[in-house]
Amino acid sequence: MVQRQLPRPAELLELMQFKKPELNGRTRRLESALTVYDLRAIAKRRTPKAAFDYTDGAAEGELSLARARQAFEDIEFHPGVLRPAPELDTSVEILGGPSALPFGIAPTGFTRLMQTEGEVAGASAAGAAGIPFTLSTLGTTSIEGVRAANPDGRNWFQLYVMRDREISYALAQRAAASGFDTLLFTVDTPVAGARLRDKRNGFSIPPQLTLGTIVNAIPRPWWWFDFLTTPKLEFASLSSTGGTVGELLDAAMDPTISYDDLAVIRDLWPGKIVVKGVQTVEDSVRLIDVGVDGIVLSNHGGRQLDRAPVPFHLLPKVVKEVGKDATVMIDTGIMNGADIVASIALGAKFTLIGRAYLYGLMAGGRQGVDRTIAILRSEIERTMKLLGVATLAELEPRHVTQLQRLIPVGSPAVPARTPRTTKTAAKTSPRASAANGSRAANPAPPDIEVTGG
């Protein structure tokens, strides 16, 4: 029997420690987000459907993106225990400069469409956190505007080599003059991917006021207030070149770009050159051999070729071929700091975040981007501590196993399926059993297969 007593007022008082309510709605909202997926949920509530879908969506059946995210979820970590690590260091040296964290902000076009603070929020948040910010050729804040938002931090510029080469070269020269230290040459867009959500939404830039958009705007008045009371949405760095948005986009995608363009860019860009959108081991080896400063394994966040290779799966194979010293970076699908830790363990020197940053932006402007970075930082720190490492350099392939759902057909990794138990199948020859190894004893192939570290 439990012995009961009257509650004592002093003990009750001790229990009643009410937190001061947070009166600022934006702060309250952002503090309630504990993961990037939470920020995505807030972003979805606050952003008109067409703008949210433009950001959140990918190409065709969106399989490239789903598989990339799944690959990160299918990580198994192997922690070490009893390894004291009182001081944690999450900083890295990347492309000749420092970064306080092993990720930077990826280039994204039309960023002010998502939330009016756009690139200014991204660049200033990156500067405050000590990580690099990348401005897209299709950015909606000018090169000089980004420099002003992040005057002391690292800015990178993403280049689309356009049909009219002179426009691209002029942009690169402007970025160099504004102190941008790295150029990301994007090569996975010979043509635009088929973003079906955009087609279904009748998405346009600038957004058109149709009956549908007006109805959709009713629960999202602040987005429209911001949109209608701030400078016009346009390609800031390209605006002086004239042409409609459609013409500019068409001009940005050029199926004739080649290694010759890389050579020209090499001559005109004084800083580091990184090729973004590399998707095979062969191309990785060739690019490192011709002397680029780095490559980004990326399928553009699944927005171009659907059913493209998963960059995270490609990573260990590429690192094995190009060597540990080459600067291999990775993006697509990163939603958690643990994804970043796993990438570094498997040999990536750095990672980029696209949507994770944009969800924060849509959820709360600059403060929202700060929140994305804070969430990823705490996930990185916690994962490192739980793995028993104090620095990123201590992370090794032995810390991670990639569990694999989809197994390449015809590769040696294909498990030999045990035939269904018919009488004839049961009489498998001794040689076949030996070739099947231990799997022969396990009739049901598991859903998830494990490949080595």
Task: State which of residues 332, 343, 372, 402 lies at the interface with ligand FMN (CB under 6 A).
Answer: 332
**Stretch 62-81 residues interacting with ligand FMN (CB under 6 A):** none
CA distance to 18, 426, 448, per residue, from 420 (Å)? 63, 8, 19
Q: Is the dihedral of CA 359, 134, 146, 172 positive or negative?
A: negative
Task: State which of residues 248, 353, 375, 380 lies at the interface with ligand FMN (CB under 6 A).
Answer: 353
Asked whether position 192 contacts ligand FMN by CB under 6 A, the answer is no
Nearer to ligand FMN, 29 or 355 (CB): 355
What's the token pair of residue 147?
């420099």
Asked whether position 294 contacts ligand FMN by CB under 6 A, the answer is no
Task: State which of residues 122, 153, 301, 347 lies at the interface with ligand FMN (CB under 6 A).
Answer: 301
State the minimum distance, in angstroms, from the CB of residue 268 to ligand FMN: 19
Say whether 399 is catalytic: no
- Residue 424 to residue 162: CA distance in whole angstroms: 62
- Residue 141 to residue 313: CA distance in whole angstroms: 34
Contact 265, 296 (CB under 8 A): no
Task: State which of residues 92, 248, 334, 389 lies at the interface with ligand FMN (CB under 6 A).
Answer: 334
CB atoms within 10 A of CB 145: 19
Longest distance between any two alpha carbons in the chain, whole Å:
87
Asked whether position 349 contacts ligand FMN by CB under 6 A, the answer is no
CB within 8 A of 373, min separation 6: which ones? 101, 125, 126, 129, 131, 360
Asked whether position 115 contacts ligand FMN by CB under 6 A, the answer is no
State the minimum distance, in angstroms, from the CB of residue 308 to ligand FMN: 12
CA distance to 266, 271, 282, 297, 313, per residue, from 289 (Å)? 14, 18, 11, 16, 22
State the minimum distance, in angstroms, from the CB of residue 299 to ligand FMN: 8
| Choices 82-90, 146-154, 326-334, 422-430 (CB under 6 A): range interacting with ligand FMN | 326-334
Asked whether position 143 contacts ligand FMN by CB under 6 A, the answer is no
- Residue 415 to residue 397: CA distance in whole angstroms: 23
Nearer to ligand FMN, 299 or 367 (CB): 299
For residue 40, which of 312, 334, 309 has the smallest C-alpha distance?
334
| Choices 77-85, 121-129, 243-251, 299-307 (CB under 6 A): range interacting with ligand FMN | 299-307
Nearer to ligand FMN, 33 or 159 (CB): 159
Q: How many residues does the chain have?
A: 453
Size of the site for ligand FMN (CB under 6 A): 22
What's the token pair of residue 135?
């401005």
What's the token pair of residue 12?
């009750």
Catalytic annotation, residues: 300
Q: Which residues bind ligand FMN (CB under 6 A)?
A: 55, 106-109, 136, 138, 158, 186, 276, 298, 300-301, 303, 331-334, 353-356
